[in-house]
């Protein structure tokens, strides 16, 4: 197993930990991963409290971002720290600006096409890593970045239909992942990259994101032709993940049969565990909510049956009745809460 090279950045373990909102992935988790030799990522979404966000969402979000980045760097001196910034955020530009000011090492950006990212991060040495789920999305990003900024992605994360989070797949593909195998997506993305790699004289590392729970899963992705992996679900059940222990226990006890595909308020399919909140939504109940801070640009708040930010803040607090448990298909194999470092132990013997 080789270290992952992203431009001049050498990552001892070819693993990026997914920046997971709301407060699953904060400084503590990112620092633990960075100390173990991977890239630790903070998710920029929902870092503030409900009350403070209602008063001044932009200012509160900025303040927490700065605090988390500085705290991660202090906890993991010399480690590689990144930020996950969803394109769907209403304060996207502001968050990227803060990442530049605070000098994070990498920015991972998905949940939409990050077409303006190189412009916003211009002048920095931050590695820019878009997330895609198809050759088509890759092509749009490559053409746009080339035309507007003469810039190539520093690495690319490829999500397959078994991954967690908001997904750029149809519900049918999520329910039948064999319709969109990640190996095919990898081949399509490679084909789109090839002419740009030739023109820029630069090879772009590709990271596979779905269903990586064990060291063997990492090796499987490397054998498929990926240069590394992007891991979410396994890191939810770590000591350093930011959510309440009651919520971690829901994840640890979950089986794959408990996974339901919901349509999130931003119009994308998302895998979640069957919990009391989800039962209500499946029964077509609407959970009343206000929308004081419009965190997601694409949120169809008027038509939505629930507020995803509210529900994820309840997950954070360990309210298992009201909480929403977003998940990837690997959850059935996650049966314990471990220190994040433990994920890397078997990998250390392979480098
Ligand atoms: C609880 C949870 C929260 C997530 N939050 C985010 C997020 O804030 N931004 C994002 O781009 N992706 C998010 N994702 C998707 C991950 O970044 C990642 O690509 C995916 O989960 C990888 O698949 P895996 O969970 O099978 O490891 C989230 C996933 C989960 C399970």
Q: Is the pLDDT of residue 50 over 90?
A: no
pLDDT for the residue 157: 98
pLDDT for the residue 267: 86
Distance 199 CA to ligand 1 centre (A): 32
Q: Is the pLDDT of residue 55 over 90?
A: no
| Binding site membership of 43 for ligand 1 (Cβ less than 6 Å) | yes
220, two tokens: 């499987």
Q: Mean pLDDT for the chain?
A: 95
The CA-atom distances, in angstroms, between 127 and each of 28, 65, 180 are 22, 18, 28
Distance 128 CA to ligand 1 centre (A): 17
Distance 218 CA to ligand 1 centre (A): 17
Q: Is the pLDDT of residue 273 over 90?
A: yes
pLDDT digits (tens, 9 = 90+) for 216-247: 999 999 999 999 999 999 999 999 999 999 99
Tell me if the pTM is above 0.95.
yes
Positions of E strands within 110-161: 127-132, 156-159
Atom of ligand 1 nearest to the CA of 157: 19
Distance 43 CA to ligand 1 centre (A): 9
192, two tokens: 């789109």
Helix, strand, coil in percent for the chain, rounding step 5: 40, 15, 40
Q: Is the pLDDT of residue 38 over 80?
A: yes
pLDDT for the residue 248: 98
Percent of the chain exceeding pLDDT 70 equals: 100
Rg of the chain, C-alpha, whole Å: 19
Q: Is the pLDDT of residue 64 over 90?
A: yes
Q: Please name the residues in contact with 290: beta carbons below 8 A apart, sequence gap of 6 or more.
A: none
* Nearest protein Cα to ligand 1, atom 23: 163
pLDDT for the residue 299: 85
pLDDT digits (tens, 9 = 90+) for 334-351: 999 999 999 999 999 988
- 151 burial (CB, 10 Å; 0-12 / 13-18 / 19+) is middle
pLDDT digits (tens, 9 = 90+) for 160-209: 999 999 999 999 999 999 999 999 999 999 999 999 999 999 999 999 99
Which of 56-60, 96-100, 291-295 is the most confident on average?
A: 96-100
Q: Is the dihedral of CA 62, 65, 67, 70 positive or negative?
A: negative
Domains within the chain, CATH numbers bracketed: 4-243+334-348 (3.20.20.70), 245-330 (no CATH)
pLDDT digits (tens, 9 = 90+) for 138-168: 999 999 999 999 999 999 999 999 999 999 9
Distance 20 CA to ligand 1 centre (A): 5
Atom of ligand 1 nearest to the CA of 212: 27
Query: Which of 97, 328, 96, 315 minimizes the C-alpha distance to 213?
Result: 328
| Binding site membership of 37 for ligand 1 (Cβ less than 6 Å) | no
Helix (H, G, I), strand (E, B) or coil at 157: strand
Percent of the chain exceeding pLDDT 90 equals: 89
Query: Please, are residues 261 and 268 in contact by the beta-carbon 8 Å criterion?
Result: no
Phi and psi at 165, nearest 5°, equal 85, -175
Q: What is the mean pLDDT of residues 308-331?
A: 97
């Amino acid at each position: 197993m080789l270290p992952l090279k992203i431009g001049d950045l050498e990552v001892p373990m070819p693993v990026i930990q997914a920046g997971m909102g709301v407060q699953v992935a904060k400084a503590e988790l990112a620092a633990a991963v960075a100390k173990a030799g991977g890239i630790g990522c903070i998710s920029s979404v929902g870092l503030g409290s409900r009350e403070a966000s209602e008063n001044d969402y932009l200012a509160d979000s900025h303040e927490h971002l700065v605090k988390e980045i500085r705290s991660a760097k202090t906890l993991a001196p010399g480690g590689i720290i990144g930020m996950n910034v969803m394109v769907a955020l209403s304060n996207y530009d502001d968050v990227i600006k803060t990442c530049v000011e605070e000098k994070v090492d990498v920015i991972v950006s998905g949940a939409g096409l990050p077409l303006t990212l190189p412009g916003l991060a211009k002048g920095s040495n931050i590695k820019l890593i878009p997330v895609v789920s198809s050759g088509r999305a890759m092509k749009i990003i490559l053409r746009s970045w080339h035309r507007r900024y003469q810039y190539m992605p520093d690495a690319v994360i490829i999500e397959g239909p078994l991954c967690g989070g908001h997904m750029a797949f149809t519900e049918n593909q999520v329910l039948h992942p064999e319709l969109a195998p990640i190996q095919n997506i990898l081949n399509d993305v490679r084909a789109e990259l090839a002419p740009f790699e030739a023109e820029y004289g630069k090879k772009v590392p590709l990271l596979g994101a779905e269903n990586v729970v064990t060291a063997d899963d990492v090796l499987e992705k490397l054998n498929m032709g990926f240069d590394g992996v992007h891991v979410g679900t396994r890191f939810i059940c770590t000591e350093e993940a930011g959510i309440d222990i009651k919520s971690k226990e829901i994840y640890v006890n979950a089986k794959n049969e408990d996974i339901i595909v919901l349509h999130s308020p931003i119009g994308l399919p998302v895998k979640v565990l069957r919990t009391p909140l989800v039962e209500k939504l499946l029964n077509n109940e609407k959970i009343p909510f206000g929308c004081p801070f419009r965190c997601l640009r694409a949120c169809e708040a008027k038509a939505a049956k629930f507020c995803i930010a509210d529900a994820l803040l309840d997950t954070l607090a360990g309210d298992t009745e009201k909480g929403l448990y977003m998940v990837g298909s690997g959850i059935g194999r996650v049966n314990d809460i471990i220190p994040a470092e433990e994920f890397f132990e078997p990998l250390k013997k392979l480098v």
